[in-house]
Amino acid sequence: MKISEIRGTGMRRVLIFAAVFCYGIAGAPAAETVTVYVSNEKDNTISVIDGDTYKVTATIPVGQRPRGIILSHDKTELYICASDSGHIEVLDLKTLKITKTLPSGPDPELFILHPTGNPLYVANEDDNMMTVIDVKKGTFITEVPVGIEPEGLGISPDGKVLVNTSETTNMAHFIDTQTYEVFDNVLVDTRPRVAMFTKDGRYIWVSSEIGGNVSVIDAKTRKVVEVIEFAIPGIRAEAIQPVGIQISGDGKIAFVALGPASRVAVVDAKTFEVKKYLLVGQRVWQLAFSPDESKLFTTNGVSNDVSVIDVKRLKVVKSITVGRFPWGVVVK
Amino acid sequence: MIRISFMVCVAALAMWAGAARAEQGNVAVVRIAVLSQLVERPPALSNLEVPPDDSGLLGARMAIMENNTTGRFMKQRFELREKIVPVRGDVVAAFKELVGDGYRFIVANLSPGTLLRVADLPEAKEVLIFNAGAPDDILRNEQCRANILHTIPSRAMMADALAQYLAWKRWPEWFLVVGRRKEDRLFAGALKRAANRFGAKIVAEKVWAFGPDARRTAKLEVPVFTQGVDYDVLIAADEIGEFGEYLMYRTWEPRLVAGTQGLVPTTWDRAHEQWGSAQLQSRFLKTFKRWMNQLDYTVWAAIRAIGEGATRSRSNQFKDIADYIHSEKFVLAGFKGQKLTFRDWNGQLRQPILLATPKAVVSVSPQKRFLHQRTQLDTLGYDKPESICRLN
């Protein structure tokens, strides 16, 4: 919140703000600092951002073409898909040093951890495979043939079902995590990117980048129950290319990154109605909530920055310069 | 590398196994043919980059593999037949044979005259032909056909793409050098139309009449040839590459070359890596050990369009697939950063055009400042009000 904004809005607002602010302090767990990690695809670095001051505190050199990033279950490590290096790097978040690499299969792009913290499921974009890795032992478990250009991975809250999107096959593949069998395939719109389960496990949201919409799939029947479309005045339809999705823990609100439209759509996650479009940096792809879901961080690939969205007020409050082509984002 | 080929083998085996499994459970087959006629190639001026004999065919094989990966989940199988007709061979007979064997989707790499001859056969009534090889604008205008869709951009689209970029650069004065062949005159015509549309001016126009090989003589001839004209860019219309490469660095004034050589409009180039195309490029290179070229791409796009039609209509029936491709719902993901669709008035696939030099993509048209009420892609080539064709 900028001082100038408070000054301009009158005393009443200031009081409300102060009240909210104090409540925020009282309600938050003591001394929990928020840290944001961003992978810079073209710089081969990870930017570390202080989630309260919005300052970049460190820039760490990593492997070639870092894209997907994810926190370990205990949040002490960051796993990094170094796509062109063909492996996953493990960054120790205390020392900010790469401590080891994991085998991943060629061209790892995105991955997801089992809710228990192990194993790790990796989409090998160049290889039509999904690789399963034991992160504790650092070993390869198996690989599952999927569609062409596997990309997004979503896992059900109980860890039983894995959903993988394939960009050129235009499908969401449903995979049993016990048997590694693909047990269903749901056709979605063109070039699916991200798959995201709702916290209650009932629905999977899948973004279609070229199709320009989000399919909501019922996890039980595996039917598309809703297709969320977007329209922004003054923006040509082809520029609306949904990628990143985040759904709040209470299942009420969802955010969808719209790529070259440089907007994040705010969606009522119950009615699937688009409520608002927030202007962020250029070519917005991935999104991540802060742990208390009060803030949402976006990676903007073309403007080389991260936008910060105040989730309560639905306002973009800050832009933070990072490296070239910021891609993945996670918040600790 | 060993790991990579192993993975390719695993994927291929898995695909084969998947297809074999699906076969037992009522798999629907979609048959697609590629019909191509060999042309007598004039001796190439450059001994580098001789067009490979399997141009287009490898694009077809890549697309069939992709269709079959989706097909294995949809219980559909795509079969490809490659029909190559010799230089003076009978294309009409080959076409009739394909139709007789049940092929209703035919991807053609033919000269415009031959293409029309087969499209007008009574056998072609219930056939959908994809033109992947003829850029002639006449096929999108006076001589358009309801049973032809064009995945290759027209010469007008290429010329407009270049003109938009040169307009953005504010290099409006063009010196046009035209080759001695009919195709060169057609491209020169498209360039003149583009100049008129986007505010450029052709300040000089000359025909290159120094014969087919300028290798040893260009150093002396080109300076004199380009002397005494005040211009921004030298534009070459030399489709088979008889002299264009030898204009560069030899002009009287230090000027850039664009058109068929130098900065070239094309729908696919090996330097293109944006919008996920790096994946298609590396997939192609790994599988076939050579780069994907423009003809590979236009054939690939045609077969992917048929695949998309079969997947979305969930059918292997000609009418269902053709209807879907002709419908407003049809969208092709062509690694160009936006959806590709067919123009309903003349069957042309809308597509962004790359402007490439031998090792880099300089820009992609349409350029942002050229607006359009429907889609910016319709600023390239013959727009609805300009086209004489009225299929819809």
Mutate to test the interface with B, among A42, A125, A127, A208 (most CBs of B within 10 A): A127
What are the tokens at B297?
A: 């791409």
In the predicted model, is pLDDT for residue B220 greater than 70? yes
- What is the spatial distance between Cα A89 and Cα B93, in angstroms, rounded to a whole number? 59
How close does chain A come to B188, measured CA to CA in Å?
31
B182 touches chain A (CB under 8 A): no
* Average pLDDT over every residue of A230-244: 93
B12 touches chain A (CB under 8 A): no
How close does chain B come to A173, measured CA to CA in Å?
9
* Average pLDDT over every residue of B327-356: 96
Nearest CB to A126 within list B15, B283, B311: B283
B74 touches chain A (CB under 8 A): yes
Averaged pLDDT score across all residues of chain A: 90
What digits encode the pLDDT tens for the residues B140-160?
999 999 999 999 999 999 999
Percent of chain A's residues with pLDDT above 90:
81
In the predicted model, is pLDDT for residue A137 greater than 80? yes
- What is the spatial distance between Cα B234 and Cα B257, in angstroms, rounded to a whole number? 5
pLDDT of residue A170: 92
* pTM metric for this prediction: 0.85
A103 touches chain B (CB under 8 A): no
Cβ contact B325:B318 at 8 Å: no
What are the tokens at B185?
A: 């005159």
3-state DSSP assignment of residue B296? helix
pLDDT of residue B46: 63
A165 touches chain B (CB under 8 A): no
Q: How far is CA B213 from the centre of its chain?
A: 27
pLDDT of residue B215: 75
User: What residue has token string 């025909």?
Assistant: B207
Q: List chain A residues with CB under 8 Å of B337.
A: 260
Percent of chain B's residues with pLDDT above 90:
81
- What is the spatial distance between Cα A165 and Cα A118, in angstroms, rounded to a whole number? 21
Kindly report which listed range (A220-234, B45-59, B175-189) carries the lowest average pLDDT score.
Answer: B45-59
Nearest CA in chain B to A192: B333
What digits encode the pLDDT tens for the residues A29-81?
445 789 999 999 999 999 999 999 999 999 999 999 999 999 999 999 999 99
Nearest CA in chain A to B374: A236
In the predicted model, is pLDDT for residue B189 greater than 90? yes
pLDDT of residue B212: 72
Q: Tell the burial category of A65 from Cβ atoms under 10 Å away from its Cβ (0-12, 13-18, 19+).
A: buried
B339 touches chain A (CB under 8 A): yes
> The complex's ipTM?
0.77
Residues 6+ apart with CB under 8 A from B47: none
Nearest CB to A145 within list B14, B276, B337: B14
B9 touches chain A (CB under 8 A): no
pLDDT of residue B216: 76
Would you call A167 and B66 a contact, using CB atoms and an 8 Å cutoff? no
What digits encode the pLDDT tens for the residues B96-137?
999 999 999 999 999 999 999 999 999 999 999 999 999 999
Beta strands in chain B, from DSSP E residues, in sequence order = 28-37, 76-85, 105-109, 128-131, 148-150, 173-178, 201-207, 233-237, 256-259, 264-266, 332-333, 339-340, 353-357, 360-365
- What is the spatial distance between Cα A101 and Cα A280, in angstroms, rounded to a whole number? 34
Q: List chain A residues with CB under 8 Å of B332.
A: 190
User: What residue has token string 């204009």?
Assistant: B247
* Average pLDDT over every residue of B211-227: 84
pLDDT of residue B44: 62
What digits encode the pLDDT tens for the residues A195-211?
999 999 999 999 999 99
What are the tokens at A79?
A: 């796993």
**Orientation angle between helical segments B57-74 and B294-313, nearest 10 degrees:** 20
In the predicted model, is pLDDT for residue A19 greater than 80? no
Please give the angle made by the CA atoms of B117, B106 and A211, to the nearest 5 degrees.
Answer: 125
- pLDDT-derived band at B10, boundaries 50, 70, 90: very low
pLDDT of residue B210: 83
